[in-house]
Structure 1
């Protein structure tokens, strides 16, 4: 595989990252996964990047695992063992990389989003879907396996257990408009406006305090794991720390001066 499997562009403080196997609808081939992790690591340490847009080249976002590349490794491990090891060491790390990125992530789902591609998209902070896009959990209906790359974690929280289970068992395609109605994505937009709207959203996010993405992810992740009393305590603890930061003082000044805050990166 000689082509660049991941394309990276810049629009000021916003990085645009495209999965780039368009002739195959952007499957998660191993070279693509490896390159994607490298690019995400570089972005995480680049102070000039304040937001990221993740999308797919061509007509699809991502159709999930590269089934044509799944073969027994020839080292004594079964295909199941090899798959487990690859997920633990590589594929699952992609989701953790996105969730740990210190800047907000916008997923622009520009077409089919299937299999493991669903987990990849939902790992973003904000998901926009083109009107022609759809989400498809092919795992159990087509292959007899469970959804992965965090799909089960995200879906139960975003759309509730009844819809998550039905999507997993029935394998019906959930179009962009339906996904927005369910709360699976933030918004559904016309195909020709998807990237433009994703960039508008990303630039708004880029203007937030530098700690915004990590703080918001972490506080909502904790909310799903603990009771109200514990969450109230967590909120108080985070306010104690964050109110000491320059961003809070700037926000108060902007409010009193009736202007938009200007946060330092």
Structure 2
């Protein structure tokens, strides 16, 4: 994994032990996603996903916001110049970006402070776990500019808060707080703003020393369960357990349990 620490880069990528920290880095634009940022974000997530030494990923934003979604100045220019192709980015950029945290075989944590709306909210919901600053402002935002959901929000939001609540949040487009989000079913921890970065890193670090293969199988099983009947899910679980039963992590953890020791997971 290539570290990116150039303060002018739209996305920063660093390694902190077994954690890859991916930081959206356009604080002057509240980390709005323009073409350059989307390309860099996709590359950073791909690098983190493919690096065997990375066992957890932390996604966050620089400055006072997580992400306000699409850069509307760039979008307005695309509408003026080539309206027929202005929305190619939805399939070409946003779909693969959101798919990466949702499907990579390692846990992904979002540390969310400030504004998190539109595709930014979708990106946070595509992660496995979230840490919210207590003053974070969340919202779907799309209908406010005459659009509907993209970046997987029509899939992730109903699963997080239920269909009725998702309809309300999308159709009304009103912002909501981190505390409300957690109360409605969005998994996450709410902490004081000054603690969100440290809390996000601590959670990612905890996951990075856990049973990586078990996390990967668990992510897949939970995602697939929405489309399966019970018998299919039971069969999928049996196959996953059989695969995990051959891992070093499982064998070592069983011996540690019997020996009354804390297990040490190697991620294999």
Is this a same-fold pair by TM over 0.5? yes
1:87 corresponding residue in structure 2: 90
2:19 corresponding residue in structure 1: 14
- Which whole-Å deviations, capped at 9, do the CAs of 1:171-200 have from their partners, x for residues lacking one? 111101111111213211111111111111
Structure 2 contact 105–219 (Cα < 8 Å) conserved: no
1:23 corresponding residue in structure 2: 28
Instruction: Output the TM-score relative to the length of structure 1.
Output: 0.92
- The alignment partner of 1:252 has SS state of helix
* Of 115-124 and 66-75, the range deviating more from structure 2: 66-75
Distance 2:79 2:168 in 1: 34
RMSD over aligned Cα, in angstroms?
1.7
Distance 2:181 2:74 in 1: 30
Q: Does 1:170 align with 2:172?
A: yes
- The alignment partner of 2:116 has SS state of strand
Aligned pairs, how many?
A: 260
2:211 corresponding residue in structure 1: 209
Distance 1:130 1:74 in 2: 37
Pick from 64, 72, 75: which aligns with 1:67?
72
Following superposition, which runs of at least 4 residues in structure 1 exceed 3 angstroms of deviation? 72-75
Matches within 5 A, 1:81-120: 81-120=84-123
Structure 1: which 5+ runs fail to align?
A: none
Deviation of 1:10 (Å): 2.7
Structure 2: which 5+ runs fail to align?
A: 1-6
Distance 2:241 2:14 in 1: 36
Distance 1:237 1:105 in 2: 24
2:130 corresponding residue in structure 1: 127
Deviation of 1:209 (Å): 2.1
Structure 1 contact 114–137 (Cα < 8 Å) conserved: yes
Distance 2:38 2:214 in 1: 27
